[in-house]
Structure 1
Amino acid sequence: MLILSASMGAGHDVIATELVRRLAAEGVEAEVVDILDLLPLRLGVALRGWYGWMVRSAPWLYALIYRVFFVSDRAPSVSPLTIVVAARLRRLIRSRQVTEVVSTFHMAAQAAGHLRRYGRLPVPSTVLLTDFAAHRLWLHPGNDRYLCPDLATAHAVHTATGCPVSCHAPVVRLGFRRSENGAASTRSRIGARADDRLVLVSAGSWGVGDVEKTARVLARSGQYLPVVLCGHNRELRRRLRHVGLPLDWCDDMPGLMAAAYALVDNAAGVTCREAMAAGVPVISYRPIPGHGRDGARAMALAGLSVYARDAGELLAALDRFGRDEERDRQVARGAALFALSPAESFLVPPGL
């Protein structure tokens, strides 16, 4: 199988890589391809850099682009970049013995769907949605089927495309289980005390969004210790060196989740799913524009998170998590997602 991802942050690649691991365990050979590498003249590098600059320095511009091209009904259904990717994807598939294409990024879903619609892709095309809110660029009726993270998304996708849809458990790496031993060692490693209420503040692999303001709100409360996941943004960690516990890119997310009281997130991505797997309640606060904001709304509507609109709501939500019934209700809704069939079960050929 060919798993199409994109190095726009780390979330799509994390899911694609985990899917390859799971398929390999079932005897299915799979390969991840970054579709940005299929763009000529280093356009993929430029596109990634431009997107990173926008979400860091001009989020209003990304919000405008998202509104016009990602969710507007008047935008073209297929972009020129998609046509270029589709042509190069077709040549790539011809050079390999591919039995199925699985897209974990919206441009890949567009390219594969375009090829499939016009008979230029001879194998099935599956789209594995990695967002809680499926914007228009995920939705191409040429694809054979969609794997969706929840029932609400599945209904929206089927209504928009007419394609068969199935709900699957979140694709989360191994190890996200709460462990008191793991929590104790993690606290010791990062310099936290045993009685600190650690609140993870996620800024994604690029360290974007208004997380400084979030961290300062938590630190000033005197009740919660912000552990800011700065990703690869060393400048963000430098600015927060006297606020809570800012961390560089962390390879031990299961350990941090084991020690966490809650997660405050701004992108509604893979970190939220990891928190749900670990039994950590999620609060969306100051989400990044576009897909981050729409995903935060979708998670809250499904009861999977709290969407805090201001600092008061953020602290009030954290306070409520101190009461077992409030925390347990949200954690149970997140855990229920993992009772669904795993994504790889829809991809492994019968009888293999």
Structure 2
Amino acid sequence: MKKILFFPHLQMQSGHHQAAEALMDLVQQRYPDAEVKKIDLLSETNKLLERVITTGYMQWIKLAPRLYSKTYKKLYFGQQPLDEQYIWHQPLFLHKLKRILKEEQPDLIFCTHSLPSCMLSKLKLSGQCHVPVVNVYTDFFVHDYWGHRGIDAHFLPTLESKDQLSNDPNVPGQLIVTGIPVHRKIRRPDSDSSSHQKHRKPVILLAGGNSGLGCPSQMFQELEYVKDFQFVVLCGHNDRLYRKIESWKLPHITPLGYVFSREEMNDLYEAADALVTKPGGVTVSEALRKRIPMFIHSALPGQEEMNLETLIPKGLVTQLVPGQPLGDQLRESLSDKQRMKTWRKAMDSYAAELAFQTDEEIIQVIEELLAPIDEKVIGKTPSIKRRSVTAT
């Protein structure tokens, strides 16, 4: 029986967990008898430390966003990959990671966060881990904390990130532009044609942020007076926001709490004419799969800021202008046929970057990674390298 481990980061729900769960679902579909396990290295090492880091992160980006942004860029974009350097906290994590590997005896490992990736790269380079390891990037860029030298394959978000790693002699693993993994229940549209009813109000899906951080409060006040759109506000666990919008009792605004069902989330995407959101990696990737126009109302410091530096030049999102009415900006963009045509071309260009257009193709790569060494040598399974080169 196969055993596959997935390493996200922290206990709170995030894109790291969602990307891991998307791949876990594919593995279980292909290998129903396989043991699939998700492990947070930080909380397994020290639960108190994990809670402190989670709380500290939330407070830091709330109280000192500029300082966090500067610190993030300085820490994660250095002169050389961190798996080549000694890191002060590495003995703590390496010791725990070696125990996990000894106890679990996995056949394959996926990392959806840089911390376990960096530690596993160090173990592989020192000969203490012989299990195939895959980096699964959950943002639209690659930073230097990720493991490089010891990693077997990279599931990359963009062609630019592949070019970046291709030029790095410290990256011997296979480079595959998969995009950020999205759960298969967020289904690809059957065609480019819209099934929306004519003569109805355009539906705007507005993601307020799971915790409410970074979301401008003025934007929600504007919604009261923008009655030519139907707004569905995803409040997540932000109960205060949910209660506030519900108290308005306005027929053109519907607040929703945290959406646990991916089928329900897929239905919401299907009904939407546009998405107003922050540039989180998985949320953006879901909208890319559903081919929904995206408008960015704000970005958290660090990862989301960096995502915008990729997404805006590629023409995949529109950044809202602070101080200008939300309704006016939505009307202007969505009614501009030339702008929408340019956006569709950008979507097509991004889709063409991806090595795979179906979940089945990703499953084939997982099959190769799990194949016995002798099968890989005699060529009973397709080469990842050949697939990535010919497809991208």
TM-score scaled by length of structure 1: 0.84
Asked whether the 8 Å contact 1:68–1:75 carries over to 2, the reply is no
Out of 328, 331, 334, the position equivalent to 2:344 is 328
Change (3 A) 1:318 1:296: farther
Determine the structure 2 residue equivalent to 1:247. Answer: 256
Q: Does 1:295 align with 2:307?
A: yes
After superposition, the C-alpha distances for 1:113-172 in whole angstroms (9 at most, x for unaligned) are 121122221212211111102222225323233110221111123334433311114421
SS of match in other structure, 1:115: helix
**1:33 counterpart residue number:** 39
Distance in 2 (CA, whole Å) between partners of 1:202 and 1:301 is: 22
Match of residue 374 from structure 2:
none
Aligned partner (choices 3, 8, 16) of residue 6 of structure 2: 3
- Secondary structure, in 3 states, of the residue corresponding to 1:283? strand
- Partner residue of 2:332 out of 319, 323, 338: 319
Give every structure 1 segment of 4 or more consecutive aligned residues whose post-TM-superposition deviation is greater than 6 Å: 179-184
Structure 1 position 249, deviation (Å) = 0.5
| Worse overlay, 154-163 or 109-118 | 154-163
Q: CA deviation at 1:19?
A: 0.6
- SS of 2:23's partner is helix
Residue 22 of structure 2 is aligned to residue 18 of structure 1? yes
Please tell me whether the aligned partners of residues 2 and 100 of structure 1 are also in contact (alpha carbons under 8 angstroms): yes
* Counterpart-to-counterpart distance in 2, 1:65 and 1:311: 28
User: 2:272 aligned with 1:264, yes or no?
Assistant: no
Match of 2:237 in 1: 232
Worse overlay, 151-160 or 171-180: 171-180
Cα offsets for 1:23-44 (capped at 9, x unmatched):
1222254321122322225211
Q: CA deviation at 1:325?
A: 2.2
- Distance, in Å, in 1 between the alignment partners of 2:302 and 2:356 is 28
Q: How does 1:1-352 map to 2 (within 5 A)?
A: 1-6=4-9, 7-27=11-31, 28-40=34-46, 42-73=48-79, 77=85, 79-160=87-168, 161-164=170-173, 165-177=175-187, 195-217=200-222, 220-241=225-246, 242=248, 244-250=253-259, 251=261, 252-312=264-324, 315-316=328-329, 319-322=332-335, 323=337, 324-333=340-349, 335-336=351-352, 340=356, 342-349=361-368, 350=371
Superposition deviation, residue 89 in structure 1: 1.2
| 1:279 to partner: Cα distance | 1.8
Shift of 1:85: 2.1
What is the letter of the counterpart of residue 366 of structure 2? L
Q: Using a 3 Å threshold, how does the CA distance of structure 1 residues 75 and 132 change in structure 2: closer, same or farther?
A: closer
Find the residue that maps to 1:227 and give its secondary structure. strand
- SS for the counterpart of 1:176 is coil
Q: CA deviation at 1:106?
A: 1.4
- 2:206 aligned counterpart, secondary structure: strand
1:253 partner amino acid: M
RMSD: 3.2
Worse-matched range after superposition: 288-297 or 260-269 = 260-269
Following superposition, the deviation at residue 335 of structure 1 comes to 4.6
**% same residue:** 21
Give the AA of the match of 1:172. V
Provide Cα deviations, 1:235-267, integer angstroms capped at 9, x if missing partner: 233344448433210132111111111112213
Write out per-residue CA displacement over residues 194-224 of structure 1, whole angstroms, 9 at most, x where no aligned residue. 8332222224433321242343455555544
Partner Cα separation in structure 2 for residue 320 and residue 259 of structure 1: 19
AA partner of residue 365 (structure 2): F
| Cα separation, partners in 2 of 1:234 and 1:319, compared to 1, 3 Å | same
Q: Are the aligned partners of 2:27 and 2:363 in contact in 1 as well (CA < 8 Å)?
A: yes
Q: Mind listing any 5+ residue stretches in structure 2 that lack a counterpart?
A: 372-379, 382-392
**How far apart, in 2, do the equivalents of 1:256 and 1:334 lie?**
23
Alignment partners' CA distance in 2, 1:108 and 1:268 = 21
Letter in 2 for 1:269: G
- Classify 1:348/1:80 alpha carbon distance in 2 versus 1 (closer, same or farther; 3 Å): farther
- Change beyond 3 A, Cα 1:212–1:34: same
* Structure label with greater radius of gyration: 2
Partner Cα distance (2:157, 2:304) in 1 = 16
Partner Cα separation in structure 1 for residue 225 and residue 146 of structure 2: 40
- For 2:287, give the aligned amino acid: A
The alpha carbon displacement at 1:97 in A equals: 2.4
What amino acid sits opposite 2:115 in the alignment? M
Unmatched segments (≥5 aa) in structure 1 = 185-193
The 8 Å contact of residues 206 and 231 in structure 1, kept in 2 or not, is answered as yes
Using the alignment, how far apart are the partners of 1:121 and 1:333 within structure 2? 39
The 2-side partners of 1:223 and 1:333 are apart by 32
Note closer, same or farther for the CA distance 1:317–1:235 as it changes in structure 2 (3 Å cut).
Answer: closer
Distance 1:71 1:9, change over 3 A: farther
In 2, the alpha carbon distance for the partners of 1:329 and 1:219 equals: 34
Tell whether the 8 Å contact from 1:283 to 1:307 is kept in structure 2 after alignment: yes
Aligned residue for 1:190? none
How many residues are paired up?
344
